[in-house]
Amino acid sequence: MLLASGTTGLAQKKPPTAATIEQRVSSLLAQMTLEEKVGQLNQYSGRELTGPVSNRKTDLLNSIRSGQVGSMLNVKGVADTRAIQAEAMKSRLKIPLLFSLDVIHGYQTVFPIPLGEAASWDLAAIRESAHVAAREAAASGIHWTFAPMVDVGRDPRWGRVMEGAGEDTYLGSQIAKARVLGFQGEKLGSTDAIMACAKHFAAYGAALAGRDYNVVDMSEQQLWEVYLPPFKAAADAGVATFMNSFNTLNGIPATGNSYLQRDILKGQWQYPGFVVSDWGSIKEMVAWGYSLDKADAAQKAITAGSDMDMESDAYSASLAQLVKDGKADIRLVDDAVRRILRKKFELGLFDDPYKFSDAKREKKVLSDPQHRVAARQIAQKSIVLLKNEKNTLPLTSQRKIALIGPLAKAKRDLAGSWIVLADTTQITSVYDGLTKRGGENAPRCFTPKAARCRATPAPASRKP
């Protein structure tokens, strides 16, 4: 079941046409100073903005008010997003911020990890999962998620396999499309949808020895046949953004890789969205030995097609001067800014910067009981029974149950990795669940820390 789109009960404005948006983008771009253009290319984490006064908080607020920030991540909730957006409205051109967050497998309602969902092979269920996550995130003031991860992962040593669809290129491509459509709907602008981001471009899942941030060394054939198809599927589905990756590809960091970003993505695929760097990946080109310093990294990143700098301070510190010195092409800067502004117009943020920050909608959506129903259904479809020796399942009244291991009574662990909210009061541990449902055969054996089984004393009326 696909949950219905939320409405406010007010007459909806007719969405602007693509031509109208391009006219508005061009008009705004013509009014911008070089510094304001560079400002749109900067993204910072906003955790400090909701905390006590600090130098970092003061600097961020001043940057926002002066139009030096295009996007914030790690700010969530209607109250905080509305307050910080109000600071952006103090800037000269009043260009709204994009609020982004890692919504990987649910916002408030937690769904199975993406790898678990992939095991269901149920594309409609996977799309539903992304839609519910988007609905909740959008109701909390979020415009953009850094998902889906569409990397093909064939090395179990790589810790990020949980974020993807596994090792099959075809299935990964189908799931990439389903998740993009789930997050975004058929068209950007609805308040029950958010921008998606296909990551990590490209071949991050093939990091040498499964080591995160490592090198990737592969043939053109393997790149095109195995690792690029899910990204192409996401692009064809209309994914709003791409994220480049930390790894090198055949000696060149993906963030500074013109072949990936200019030749393939924006060239052959004619991709109209924008590319955001992974966290600090522009300045990390210095660590790779590919750039002399952060300024050189900024020049190589913008030239290669990386539009938005996430948490490197490379563009903010150096890009304007690089343009003035003739070391960076202003046409590339303008193209990057145009791509970002276009998405802000498509979301409707210029018409209403607080469009996604509605307290009543937040309360209503986050309390929707149908979301938990959807999560339970998708979890059931994601369960894979590899072997049912001696018909162990389904459990009957004749069977006794032993729980062994440190996670038997765990709650937070059951939510999986990389979640937004961890409300353990809403989580039932395996032990508690089986105790409630097991009756006479409730768990009699539990080891919270020890490796061996310790018997739990049974009531006098029961046998252990």
116-158 per-position pLDDT tens digit: 999 999 999 999 999 999 999 999 999 999 999 999 999 999 9
Supply the pLDDT for residue 451: 40
What is the Cα–Cα distance from 337 to 328, expressed in whole angstroms? 14
Average pLDDT value for the chain: 90
Relative to beta strand 144-145, strand 197-201 is: unpaired
Under 8 Å CB-to-CB from 35, ≥6 apart: which residues? 67, 68, 320
Q: Catalytic residue at 307?
A: no
- Read off the pLDDT of each residue in 199-221 and give the average, rounded to a whole number: 96
- Read off the pLDDT of each residue in 331-345 and give the average, rounded to a whole number: 98
- pLDDT over 80 (residue 302): yes
**What does the pLDDT look like over 433-444, one tens digit per residue?**
888 776 655 655
Q: What is the DSSP letter of 450?
A: -
- pLDDT over 60 (residue 448): no
Give me the phi and psi of 455, to 5 degrees please: -70, 140
Going from the C-alpha of 443 to that of each of 221, 304, 366, the distances in angstroms are 53, 58, 34
**What does the pLDDT look like over 339-355, one tens digit per residue?**
999 999 999 999 999 99
- pLDDT over 70 (residue 374): yes
In this prediction the pTM is: 0.90
Contact 218, 251 (CB under 8 A): no
Residue ranges per structural domain of the chain: 18-361, 385-464
Weakest mean pLDDT among 65-79, 287-301, 334-348, 394-408: 394-408
Identify which of 288, 225, 229 has the alpha carbon closest to the alpha carbon of residue 255.
288
pLDDT band of 58, cuts 50, 70, 90: very high
Under 8 Å CB-to-CB from 134, ≥6 apart: which residues? 103, 145, 182, 183, 184, 185, 192, 193, 194
Supply the pLDDT for residue 309: 98
User: 18-361 has which CATH code?
Assistant: 3.20.20.300
In this structure, how many other beta carbons lie within 10 angstroms of the beta carbon of residue 379?
A: 17
Q: In percent, how much of the chain has pLDDT > 90?
A: 77
What is the Cα–Cα distance from 386 to 50, expressed in whole angstroms? 46
Supply the pLDDT for residue 420: 92
Cα first-last separation, the chain: 44
DSSP 292-361: SSHHHHHHHHHHHT--BEES--HHHHHHHHHHHTTSS-HHHHHHHHHHHHHHHHHHTTTT-TTTT--HHH
Which burial class, exposed, middle or buried, applies to 190 when counting CB atoms under 10 A from its CB (0-12, 13-18, 19+)? buried
What is the Cα–Cα distance from 181 to 184, expressed in whole angstroms? 5
**What does the pLDDT look like over 237-246, one tens digit per residue?**
999 999 999 9
- pLDDT over 50 (residue 160): yes
The active-site residue out of 80, 122, 278, 368 is 278
pLDDT band of 405, cuts 50, 70, 90: confident
How far does CA 307 lie from the centroid of its chain?
17
How big, in percent rounded to 5, are the helix, strand and coil portions of the chain?
45, 10, 45
